[in-house]
């Protein structure tokens, strides 16, 4: 993973059209922290951040409160908010947690998936393949999300799927979507998952589901190691 990954940006116009503006701001800041664009100890000034993103100070303040609750930022006397420490163990644990949830869902899905759902997953993977061919980061990220959303609905594991979605907020999706090698792994792991479901093989399904999380952790750790984060 190249160390000069693209910044996660969004136009002020697109942000203002969304109802949960503070969540969007939190997502942008979370991405910057998880990719070491913002290093530990870096102050996050509300007025400057608001101008940079193109929003008012209020959603930035709300976003920082959310991130403080997640341990992503700390409040410092006379300094406002600063980026919190991010360790290798933190990164490993985030992806371990995601993988545990995903493999449990995959085992359940293997026992109950029908032909229509298999067709839906195949179509979603084809959509990701088409997006990857264009190199459009936004389209790739959206297609990847659509595949996993369709997948996680099949087993009916609603609460577990919600926990998995919550954990994936720490995944720098835009960084991955900009990496063709990541897209190749994602497409291949999706196909392995679909093949395992066709064979009604829960063990193979769990193995396939884990691939992306292992790969994601490896890529992010390599990227972060190339920055000043742990130097």
Within 19-86, residue ranges assigned H as helices are 21-34, 46-53, 57-70
pLDDT at 78: 77
Please report the domains of the chain, with CATH numbers, ordered by start residue.
12-83 (1.10.10.10), 88-225 (1.20.120.530)
- Over residues 31-40, the pLDDT tens digits come to 999 999 999 9
Token representation of residue 71: 């341990």
CA atoms within a 13 Å half-sphere pointing along the CA-CB vector of 114: 2
Least confident of 19-28, 41-50, 189-198: 19-28
Enter the DSSP assignment of 10.
-
Does 225 or 15 have the greater pLDDT score? 225
Cα–Cα dist 156/170, whole Å:
24
Token representation of residue 215: 């790969």
Strand partners, 44: 81
| pLDDT at 5 exceeding the cut of 70 | no
| pLDDT at 46 exceeding the cut of 50 | yes
- Over residues 81-139, the pLDDT tens digits come to 999 999 999 999 999 999 999 999 999 999 999 999 999 999 999 999 999 999 999 99
Q: Could you give the 3-state DSSP secondary structure of residue 144?
A: helix
pLDDT at 16: 44
- Over residues 210-231, the pLDDT tens digits come to 999 999 999 999 999 999 999 8
């Amino acid at each position: 993973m190249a160390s000069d990954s693209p910044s996660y940006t969004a136009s002020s116009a697109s942000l203002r059209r969304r109802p949960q503006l503070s969540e969007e701001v939190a997502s942008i800041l979370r991405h910057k922290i998880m990719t070491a664009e913002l290093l530990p100890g870096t102050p996050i000034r509300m007025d400057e951040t608001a101008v940079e993103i193109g929003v008012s100070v209020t959603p930035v303040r709300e976003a920082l409160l959310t991130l403080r609750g997640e341990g992503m930022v700390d409040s410092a006397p006379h300094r406002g908010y600063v980026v919190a420490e991010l360790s290798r163990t933190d990164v490993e644990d985030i992806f371990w947690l995601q993988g545990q949830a995903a493999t449990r869902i995959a085992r359940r899905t293997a026992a109950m998936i029908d032909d229509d759902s298999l067709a839906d997953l195949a179509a979603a993977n084809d959509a990701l393949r088409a997006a990857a061919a264009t190199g459009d980061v936004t389209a790739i990220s959206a297609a990847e999300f659509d595949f996993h959303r369709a997948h996680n609905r099949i087993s009916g594991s609603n609460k577990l799927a919600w926990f998995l979605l919550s954990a994936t907020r720490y995944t720098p999706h835009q960084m991955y979507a900009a990496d063709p090698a990541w897209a190749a792994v994602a497409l291949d792991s999706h196909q392995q998952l679909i093949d395992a479901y066709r064979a009604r093989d829960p063990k193979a399904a769990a193995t396939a589901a884990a691939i992306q999380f292992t790969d994601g952790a490896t890529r992010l750790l390599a990227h972060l190691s190339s920055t000043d984060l742990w130097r």
